[in-house]
Structures are given as structure tokens and as C-alpha cells.
Chain A
Amino acid sequence: MQQDVPTTQSDIHLEVHDLVVKYGDRTVLKKVNFEVNRGEVLVILGGSGCGKSTLLRNLVGLMRPYSGQILINGKDFTGMNEEERMALRKRMGMCFQGSALFNSMTIGENVALPLREHTRLENSTIEIMTRIKLELVGLGGFDTYMPSELSGGMKKRAGLARAMAMDPEIIFYDEPSAGLDPIVAADLDMLIRKMQHTFNLTSVVVTHEMESVKLIADRVLMLDKGEVVGYGTLDELRQTDHPFVQQFFERRPNEEGGDEATYLQALTGNQN
């Protein structure tokens, strides 16, 4: 499934330099570095609690990092003021894990919202554009439905349509296949590929599903406990002998028991 996306070496869309994120005293991300070329799909892979969702929240500017830089189109996103951020965000889309559709609005109104707020287009034009976007994700004719009337997979599609409303250059997906059955999840993977292929869309996908990774990834960034343990194409990653990467690929459980002393310490709560 590896498509040949025409990219030049210098066409870097998103760069992250030495990103450090802390919650209070706890360091969640330790010096993360990577870059994404224009029109490429980068998959951020890792176990639960490895910091991948936190990384995504930083990339879209919902959190400010402790230190480090995020460059989008070569511009420093972290150092921007709110107004510049807002302007840049109009060129970004994000699909949330739980779709985050506005429950008080119909699907059509949800998709039309960014257009209504950010553009001065005629109502009729907005309606047509909304239908085009819904058609694109396979939800043509559903514009009058409320989010609560849709299934999980359809909600995610509608969320994607809303993210695509402003014709973004870069799109972020948070766990697109979480909570979906394998068929619907595969459909969604194909949709991610289709979007990237049709619009030359730079995509960043956070997931823990190996099956999706095989289908959609141009490059993979693997995180464990806030550290990058692997970065490259899927094949390159398979070659590495990092124990966590191998364990993840082979779907092996953690060794049980572990150190007896640590176990005793955990039980008694004794810090010594």
C-alpha cells in the first residue's frame, strides 16, 4: 500500500525539535524530534500512556510545551500569539477520538460551522460545500441527522468531514480506529489514504493498531514512556533491535513478576 508521493527532500511541512512536555513535575515527553514531509502520512505509534496523545495536543496547540519548538511551514508555532495561532489553525484539521461533534447541531451544521464562522460565503454555497464534504466521506444525505443518531464509525467520518471543511493542508487524527470493529476501522484507514492521496494532505495519525499502521503509514514514529524508540519506515523499524519495538510488533505481554524487591516495595509502600 505504499504510494509514491512526490516529495522533495526540502519540502518539510512539520518539524519538531527537542520537544519536552511536563505535567507538573512529571516529564511526559523527553526531547522528541521528528519531521513530516508535505503529503506524507506519519503514524505516531505507542502503548497506552506513552505520551502520544499529549504529543498530538501539543502539535495542534491545545497545550504549550515546556521547551522545544514546533515548526509548521517553517514558522514557529509554539512562539506565536493567539491571533497568529488562530489564523494558522484555519489551515489545520483535527479528528478527535470521540469525534467531538457538537451534539446540539445537525451533521450538516457541524460541517458548515467553520465555513460560516471563517468565510463570507453565501448560504447556498456553504450548503453545497457541506454536501460535497459529506459525500467525500461517504455520508451523503445525512446532513439533517443529529450526531446521536449516527453509529460510532459514521460519527468519525462526520468528524473527518468537519475537519476537511476548510480544505486544510495538514490533518491530525487521534486514534481514528479506536472502538470500531475491524471492517469499519479498515474503511476509515482507506479514507485516510484517500484524503491524503486526493488532496496531497499531510497527515499525522496517532494510533496503537498495528493493522492500521501497515495500511497507511509512510513513516512511523514510535514512542515509549515519552521517548522516541524508533523512527523511519515500517520496514526500517522492523530491522531495529530495540526491545520495546520488537515486543510491540510481536504483541508480547510484559514479563510478569519482575524484580521481587520492587514488588515488595510497591506492596508495602516503603520508599527505602
Chain B
Amino acid sequence: MTAAAQLEVQGLTKHFAVGTTFARSRVHAVDDVSFELRPGTITALVGESGSGKSTVARLLARLHDPTGGAVLFEGSDVARVRRRRDVLRYRSQVQLIFQDPFDSLNPVKTVRHHIERPLRIHGIVPRHEVDERVQELLRAVGLVPPQEIAAKYPHELSGGQRQRVALARVLAVEPKVVLADEPTSMLDVSIRIGILNLMMRLKEERGIAFLFVTHDLASARYVADDLLVMYAGQIVERGPVEEVLESPLHPYTRLLLAAVPDPAKRLHADRIQERKGVAAAAVDPPEGCRFVSRCPLAIDVCSRVTPPLVEARPHQAARCHVTAPSNLIERTT
């Protein structure tokens, strides 16, 4: 049932050095992240600001170089690739959509320019067909009439329209993988659904593998097939989206679920246990679980040993000594 992975991420790690020459620290933005992106599926990467989810997307788009780990695309590790030709080929297959629709388009260039460039750089179609292809792409993302829209500048479009242009630009190279970095967070609520529906349609029609990075669990549930939960640079839970949300293993996932506004909660509002802690990247983290300061289930071993990602149920894994202890593997068949 599971098709071969389009993009395989193994142990991806990114540390940023901060501080002065005398007091250097390393921010562990991404630590040992592994997952797969399969064609025709949407994988949601959920986490709060600073959890490292955007960094993961940018690492996969090769906007940063990883500190460690491998990113396997069609067999070869793209993190090690240096030759311009190979980098270009990778870029034509793996594309990125940005969060801020107001920033991801060049304000002094027309829509046409944005969509033409990738067509020309990668030679997708012969020169005389470029114009036609631009119009086709605009239609594919629901921007009609295409001729009119193509002549507009970004500031003449609404936020939703700009994200569609970003999608059209991405589709121009006919990518196999699309990394969407919070594509709807800065859009009006009523427009988000349109973009999400468009993503689902593109995944079905073109068999693209999507990585949907977001902090909104609800929209993750709406579009995604698989869910990855990140905390302080690590993946703390993963699995099929319905199962993870219905019976979450990791305490952080449970915390997130409890925190999302829900009208039905009105009468039964339990105060969330207020433990100090931030979901942001850890600086020079010690050994042990990074969630330990906020965890209601913490036991002694949690502050000493970093829990590994353990598949406690079929297809569902979590990084927790309590709910997904590592000796579980030995116990089950």
C-alpha cells in the first residue's frame, strides 16, 4: 500500500552557533529528525513557533546546509551535492512555498515574471510555449482570467491570490515534492480552506508529495494523511493523523490538543497545568527529554536519558519514556 518514498529524511540535524568567540553556544534548531514523504500524500509537520519545523522545510529546500544527517532524494543524498547542475535538478523537483504571501513575491515584478522564470531556467517548455503554459498554470490554481492576472503586480492581489501565484510558480517545474511552510497562517480564515482544498486537489491530480508545516492542528487534520509533531527541534510523535489525534501518546501532543480553542469546552474549562517552558529550540540542551519541565507524567529517567522514538502502536511512534518506553519493542512480536 505504501508507495516508495519520494524523499527520505534520516537523522537530520541543524545547529546554529550563537554568541561571541569566548562564549559560544549552539542552538539545536533541528535534532535527529527522520521521516518520509510519499507521493500523493500530505504529511503535516506540527509544532509551535521555534520548534524547528520551518527550519526543517528550509533544510529540505536547501536554503541551509544541515549539520548532520542525510536527505535522500531518488537514492542520493542531496545534502552532499555541490555541482550546480545537480543542485538545479534537485530544485526543479523539490519546491518551497513560503508563509508570508506579502513577502514571497517580488513587489516590482509581475505575476507573469514569477511564473515564467522557473519555466525558463529549467527549460520546461520551448520558448514559444511559455506564455501558454503560464496561463495553464494560473488556471490550474484557480486564478482566472489568466491574462489579466498575469499582468498584475503582487500588491494588486489579495493574500489568497498571492499564495495561489506562489503555488503556480511552484507547479511550473512539475515538482515531485512540495514543501509548504505555513502557507495559510497569514491568510484570512475564510480563504484558508480554499488554499487547503487546492493543495488536496493537486496532491490527488498530480501525485505530489506535500510537506505541510503548520502550528494549527485543525488544518493539519483537515488536509493531512500523516502527522509529525515537533517539540524543541525533535520529533516527539508521528503517525496517521486520525490515530494520533484520537489517542495521542506524547504529553505534548495532548497539551496541544487541549489548548486548541473549542466552543464545546466553554462549560468544562479545565485550567491547563501552568508549567513554565517554551517550545523553542534548546540552547546546548543537556541529556534527557526536552519536555521534562512541562510534563505532568515525568519520571526520574526522563531528565537523564533522551527518549528514543519508539513505535508503541502500529504506525504510531512517540518519544516518551512513559507512554512509549523503549523496551516495548522487545515485548511485542
Chains A and B come from one and the same complex? no
A residues with a Cβ closer than 8 A to B are none
